[in-house]
Each structure stands twice: as structure tokens, then as C-alpha cells.
Amino acid sequence: MFIELPEVGREVQAGQSLGEIESVKAVSDIYAPVNGQIIAVNDRLPDALETLSNDPYGAGWLVKIRVRGEAGLADLMDHAAYQAQCQENP
């Protein structure tokens, strides 16, 4: 229904909310996966939220973050680990 994304240039910390997404049932924060600076925002999403469901790994990207430091990078999941987690917690 609605998405709020950060402005380009904003500094973010891993685990910090960088925006919100609202569905029919709930409002959820969008959390930064790493420390860094927002260098791009997908400005097309607010007018085409269905893209998040239809093409989440392509046109449904949210933001691009220039990573600052390597702290926390080892904790990120690759695609296979994320898919396994989704199967465990549907």
C-alpha cells in the first residue's frame, strides 16, 4: 500500500530502521543489513509496490548501500541460506 524509503546520502547502521512498508495488514520497518551510506533509492517502488512481490531480486530492489567497514558482513546470508530460513519459518 505504501513505502517510505530513505534519502540518498543518509548514513545507516546495521539493524537501524531505514524506512517503512505498509501492507493491508501491518506496518513494518525496513532494517539496514550493514553499516554504510545510502547511495541510491528505487524511486519507482512507491508507484509500483507490486514489483516487490513480482521481482524482488531484480526490479524490486529497495536501496543501494555503500558499505562502511567489514563488521557484520560475515553475518549476512547468501541466497541459499535465506531460502533455507524461509522454508524453516514460513
Write the pLDDT tens digit of every residue in 35-78.
999 999 999 999 999 999 899 889 999 999 999 988 778 889 99
CATH of 2-88, one of 3.40.50.720, 2.40.50.100, 3.40.50.300, 3.30.365.10: 2.40.50.100
pLDDT (tens digit, 9 = 90+) per residue, 1-30? Answer: 899 999 999 999 999 999 999 988 999 999
In order of 5, 32, 46, 69, 79, the CA distances from 21 in angstroms are 9, 14, 10, 28, 22
Residue boundaries of the structural domains of the chain: 2-88
